[in-house]
Amino acid sequence: GSKISNSRKSTGVLSFFRGSGTRSPDLSLQGADSAHYQVGQSAKDGADSHGPEPQEEADGGDKQKKQLSNPHVELQFSDANAKFYCRIYYAQEFHKMREEIMESSEEGFIRSLSHCVNWQARGGKSGAVFYATEDDRFILKQMPRLEVQSFLDFAPHYFSYITGAVQQKRPTALAKILGVYRIGYKNSQNNTEKKLDLLVMENLFYGRKMAQVFDLKGSLRNRNVKTDSGKESCDVVLLDENLLKLVRDNPLYIRSHCKSVLRASIHSDAYFLSSHLIIDYSLLVGRDDTSDELVVGIIDYIRTFTWDKKLEMVVKSTGILGGQGKMPTVVSPELYRTRFCEAMDKYFLMVPDHWTGLGVNC
């Protein structure tokens, strides 16, 4: 999982979409010469196609059936210089979920997204591009095409799980994915164009100053980051081996009720993810010295077992790795879940209180 630290730079296509860059953007499309709003293509077509391009006209009956069954929405608009395109994946489902879990309004969500800056990924090897909203509430991650399709297949189960957890007050540690979009533009004046698939997620550390940040997978294979002696800045995202070295002298103690909630959340979430063949997720942990709290959330839970198998096949068949190494062993979702849960149980130690042990022998 790639981690991020702030780097204030312009954002290309995101700057294009926000227009003049004023602090209070107009949420309408004033200034656009034309605007077109329609239901998008099917999920699989949507993941593989590229906008902004004109949509083919279907027969009347087929088109109406497509609109009724399709959960995605497309918006196209243009001015004198450029054409703009936005596809909102699972528009209604995401809208309903945001109403369930977010305190801010939908307009506030849009206003946050209208001002974004580049974020520099640290601690990860994916090479993905990250952005953050200027108010630091949300993080945007560029998604490769296979990852988009993986999420589109997984999304209905995700919506059901998150809304069910909120309504039934079940604990969950999943960092919330709040929207997935494809955006693009084509400038007819200088023939420049850009297309991005973007995932929007909550910033777990919003409003906090973290002394240390860990990305934990429950594995010790290549899970160590070399740091300067005594360095405690959250500029460096530490991994499992770093944590194990640190807890020898300074264990991560949590209260018994916190341990119970954390364990229930992780076990429930990991079981849900493994049942849908998800692997390679991490527990992101931040230590906030100001409040003396640990902030945790499960991230990077889109990569599926099937997706990895496809990637492994491509790499081996094309010889990309040459003779310099072997493809990392792909772990099954069930084995990954078991290893992950067992490791997280060991990483966080419970502080006994005066109730601990009562009733054990009853």
pLDDT in tens, 37-84: 555 444 444 444 444 444 444 455 565 555 557 899 999 999 888 999
Answer left, alpha or beta for residue 2, where phi above 0 means left and psi between -120 and 50 means alpha.
Answer: beta
**pLDDT value of position 60:** 56
This prediction has a pTM of 0.77
Other CB atoms within a 10 A radius of the CB of residue 270 amount to: 25
Average pLDDT over residues 155-162: 97
Share of the chain above pLDDT 90, in %: 48
Q: Single out the residue of 306, 256, 253 nearest to residue 276, CA to CA.
A: 306
Domain 3-202 of CATH type 3.40.109.10: no
Residues contacting 189, CB < 8 A, separation 6+? 81, 82
22, pLDDT greater than 60: no
Mean pLDDT of the 97-104 span: 91
Residue type, 277: L
Can you read off the two tokens belonging to residue 284?
């992101």
Tell me what pLDDT residue 125 has.
55
SS3 content of the chain, % helix, strand, coil (to 5): 35, 25, 40
Partners of residue 37 on adjacent β-strands: 75
Average pLDDT, the chain: 79
CATH number of 212-351: 3.30.810.10
Rounded distance between C-alpha atoms, residue 336 and residue 332, angstroms: 6
Would you say 184 and 84 are in contact if contact means Cβ atoms under 8 Å apart?
yes
Distances from the Cα of 194 to the Cα of 51, 187, 242, angstroms:
9, 9, 39
**Intervals of CATH 3.30.810.10 along the chain:** 212-351
Q: What is the pLDDT of residue 362?
A: 52
The encoded tokens of residue 282 equal 């991490």
What is the rounded CA–CA span in Å between residue 328 and residue 119?
A: 28
- Between residues 49 and 343, the one the model is more confident about: 343
pLDDT in tens, 245-270: 888 888 888 988 899 999 999 999 99
> pLDDT tens digits, residue range 264-312?
999 999 999 999 999 999 999 999 988 889 999 999 999 888 766 666 6
Residues 16-28 have a mean pLDDT of 41
- Asked whether the beta carbons of 278 and 302 are under 8 A apart, the reply is yes
pLDDT of res. 229: 56
